[in-house]
Chain A
Amino acid sequence: MEYSSQTSSATNSILQLVSFTIGNEEFGVDILKVQEINRMTAITRVPNAPEHVEGVINLRGKIIPIIDLRKRLGVDCNDHDKNTRIIVVELVGKVLGFIVDSVSEVRRIPVSITERPPAMIAGIRGDYITSIAKLEDRLLILLDLEKILSADEQEELAGIM
């Protein structure tokens, strides 16, 4: 916690991000949140699960849920291909995977080139986005995975009630 608050307060500090693509957009998440990146494996469908839950996979003996980030963010879905990856993250003590179209690279970007997000960008709700990084030739959307997850749970709750 302390570490991240320092990085955001010091203007010259560097963010380390894993960047990936979904559709035509490029996104980034904090590298500390990412546990591993896997190729696509067999996903078992979970009947009666919420729509954005793609299913579960066997991650070395642990069964973890897989969320289709593309569906979650409302971006058009491509079929899974050889570039499709599962980004395994640990959020609030739980391990889960996100399906993305491809993983690009690990980037180091200075905090100074990031900006607060507009209310809506590329059809994605603003509160899922931590900030926007302006790269030389394109924009990188930094995602707040915890928000995405908690929104999930909130919606699920709303659905029950």
Chain B
Amino acid sequence: MGADFIDPDMQEIFESFCIETQELLDNLMPDLMLLEQQSDSELLNRIFRGFHTIKGTSSFMGFDTISTITHEAENILNKLRRNEMETSQPLIDVLLEVHDWIQLLLKRIMGGDLAPVDYSATIARLKALNNAQSDNPKANVLREESALSAVLSNKEIVQGSDDFSDEELAAIQAAFAEINADFAKSAAPQDSGDFTPEEELAIQAAFAEVNAGMAVNSAEKEGSQGDFTPEEEVQVQAAFAEVNRTFREAAAAQVSAAAAKPPSKQAADVAQQPDTTKKSGTVQAESTIRVDVARVETLMDLSGELVLGRNRLTQIANRFHNQSESGDLLQELFDTVAQVDFITSEIQTAVMKMRMIPIGKLYQKAPRIVRDLSKEFHKEIDLSLKGEETEIDRGIIEELNDPLVHMIRNSCDHGIETPAERIEKGKPARGHIVLDAEQEGNNIVIRISDDGRGMDHEKLKAKAIEKGLITPEQAAAMSMREAFQLIFQPGFSTAAVVSSVSGRGVGMDVVRTNILKLKGIIEIESEIGVGSTFVIKLPLTLAIIQGLLVGVGNEVYAIPLGSVVEVVDAERSAISTVNLREVIRIREQVLPLLRLRETLQTPYENEATAKEYVVVVGLAHQRIGIVVDKLFGQQEIVIKPLSSLLGSIQGIAGSTILGDGRVIMIVDIAELLAAG
């Protein structure tokens, strides 16, 4: 963290502040979204505590920009918590706004930027909400009641006498009148009535009693007696006690009712996630430790070394074996090597798991995006999240964030229709987007599906021709799948109207670029009128891959096995030349050929090579044949990036060390495809 403005002694505290605040923000987001659906005291308390902690720590750290705005939010939450205010749409909007400001400020502070931001509009909205007279009758009743109690107790303490002055009586009566009015309001619309009918009756009876007492009192007053008789006094106080008790019971009943109330179906969908995180959260607090990422990375590197050492050991053992030496000692060596082999694999897996985090982390932003967008587009969209517990390398998660946001936006904007359109088509008014993740072998598969209008491949083709991205001939030769891939072309946008969210034709381009960078594949399945599904396939980890070792001249290169489609014998395949470029025909497909020897300018000694192989590689839907001289088989390889001193080298993705200590280069398939 590049925070030079922090005292070195404070550095550690600063770092934990950043981590903690980020965590709080991450937890607050689903809670705030949940508040939109339901409001219970536990949830409110949790949100309040979150903001409260952020306020406290940020003010301790001296980040007043954060603490000021958090303080305002806390004021409102405190009222909500004490039932002095009810949650409302504008209120949650503004709380989400506060969340965004804190997030922005935190990011900036982490980047060393302490400059204040202008969030005065948000503050003004917070203050307005805070000062607004609450419309909640129940809260008003409670407030009036406390005012009344204050007058009464004041009377007892100050005067020590039983006499009410005229003004006091007037105040009491006014207060009662207001309570009555509020009460009537609360009783009238059945849905806003938080009191049960029995409670209402009890309260009304109590009021009647108080009123009667008061009437008696004021009647006597007119007869110049001027004070409560002891009986009257007792009557009034008893009535108050009754009112008080009823209120308390009502409040208690409400709390338990809220707790017992089954959340609405919709809320349940959203509630699922926070609930699970909450549960695992409490367990985590006891059984997890926070470890610096750098330490895990070091461990990862070391375990990589261990893999190399093991590979070497295995090679040496095999050499002994080939020299056909025999004996107990050799057997012992073999046994030991086998054991080291096993343990190394175990360690490697364990360390890799340490870097894995549940994909739910990635999902966190999704509900908010869908909420904001459905408002913006006046659409009704539900979001379901599945497979949150699926684990994936944290490096991949970070890279996946932007693509996912773009795809959700795409689904909300282009996929889901407006409610009117949907009803017309005989679909439910509410659209549905599903995020689903699961592990399939060594891959993670993420699906983003919507039940929207689907994609018309003919329209896509027409559009691409119009934009000059493809020729009509190319379009004619395109399959449906290939046509869908057109939306990933830079400069392609299907929306007729450019909206603030999508339609600028950059988003989907970014999606594919990022996915390819992660050595992943993205495919689209779509049916007009039924919906579209984006399927992303990613490797579980980027650090260790299966590589196909190939020989070119005297050099050895590794090709990531994930990209290899098949290997064919060059002699037996039909290699021909089209437009001065070599192509190979494999079954019905014609693929461009690339000679690795030429691409990588490998020094060549004997021109006449005995044999050539064609390694067919592919990413997404692109395929290309790579000509090599030798095949050495496959091996697990640890990717080591090339030194930054070398900069980025064309056609090379990284390097690795073989069992015998040799360094070899890993071919960058994406770049070769781009070149081919």
Inter-subunit contact A56/B643 (CB<8 Å): yes
Inter-subunit contact A63/B657 (CB<8 Å): yes
A48 and B649 in contact, given A56-B655, A58-B662, A63-B655 (Cβ under 8 angstroms)? yes
Say yes or no for B104: interface residue by CB 8 A criterion: no
User: Which of B649, B651, B661 is within 8 Å of A58, CB to CB?
Assistant: B661
Partner-contacting stretch, out of A22-30, A38-46, A77-85, A132-140: A38-46
What does the 1/0 interface line of A44-85 toward B look like (CB < 8 Å)? 111111100100111001011100000000000000000000
Inter-subunit contact B645/A94 (CB<8 Å): yes
Count of residues in B whose CB is under 8 Å from the partner chain:
27
Say yes or no for B650: interface residue by CB 8 A criterion: yes
Residues of chain A lying within 8 A (CB to CB) of residue B646:
46, 49-50, 53, 56, 65
Say yes or no for B665: interface residue by CB 8 A criterion: yes
A63 and B663 in contact, given A46-B652, A47-B652 (Cβ under 8 angstroms)? yes
CB distance from B101 to the nearest CB of A (A): 36
Say yes or no for A96: interface residue by CB 8 A criterion: yes
For the A-B complex, the count of residue pairs with Cβ-Cβ distances under 8 Å equals 70
By size class, the interface of chain A is: 20 to 34
Inter-subunit contact B663/A58 (CB<8 Å): yes
Residues of chain A lying within 8 A (CB to CB) of residue B601:
47-48
| Best-buried of B304, B603, B647 by chain A (most CB within 10 Å) | B647
Inter-subunit contact B649/A149 (CB<8 Å): no
Residues of chain A lying within 8 A (CB to CB) of residue B665:
44, 46-47
Inter-subunit contact A96/B643 (CB<8 Å): yes
Residues of chain B lying within 8 A (CB to CB) of residue A48:
600-601, 649-652
Say yes or no for A156: interface residue by CB 8 A criterion: yes
Complex: A56 Cα to B644 Cα, angstroms: 12
Say yes or no for B24: interface residue by CB 8 A criterion: no
Complex: A115 Cα to B601 Cα, angstroms: 44
Say yes or no for B591: interface residue by CB 8 A criterion: no
In terms of DSSP, what is the predominant structure of the interface of chain B?
mixed
Complex: A28 Cα to B644 Cα, angstroms: 26
Complex: A107 Cα to B589 Cα, angstroms: 67
Inter-subunit contact B663/A57 (CB<8 Å): yes
CB distance from B92 to the nearest CB of A (A): 48
A45 and B652 in contact, given A56-B643, A58-B657, A63-B642 (Cβ under 8 angstroms)? no
User: Which of B304, B644, B662 is within 8 Å of A44, CB to CB?
Assistant: B662
Complex: A64 Cα to B599 Cα, angstroms: 23
User: Which of B603, B640, B645, B650 is within 8 Å of A65, CB to CB?
Assistant: B645
Complex: A136 Cα to B36 Cα, angstroms: 87
CB distance from A44 to the nearest CB of B (A): 4
Residues of chain B lying within 8 A (CB to CB) of residue A156:
647
User: Which of B305, B602, B603, B644 is within 8 Å of A94, CB to CB?
Assistant: B644
Inter-subunit contact A94/B655 (CB<8 Å): no
Complex: A42 Cα to B663 Cα, angstroms: 9
Q: Which residues of A contact B (CB under 8 A)?
A: 42, 44-50, 53, 56-58, 61, 63-65, 94-96, 149, 152-153, 156
The 10 closest A-B pairs by CB, nearest first: A47-B600, A44-B663, A48-B650, A61-B305, A65-B643, A58-B663, A63-B640, A58-B657, A63-B655, A65-B646
Can you list 30 A-B contacts with CB-CB less than 8 angstroms, sorted by A residue number?
A44-B662, A45-B555, A46-B642, A46-B646, A46-B649, A46-B652, A47-B599, A47-B601, A47-B602, A47-B650, A47-B651, A47-B665, A48-B600, A48-B652, A49-B646, A49-B649, A53-B646, A56-B642, A61-B304, A61-B305, A63-B640, A63-B655, A63-B657, A64-B643, A65-B646, A94-B643, A94-B645, A96-B643, A152-B645, A153-B645
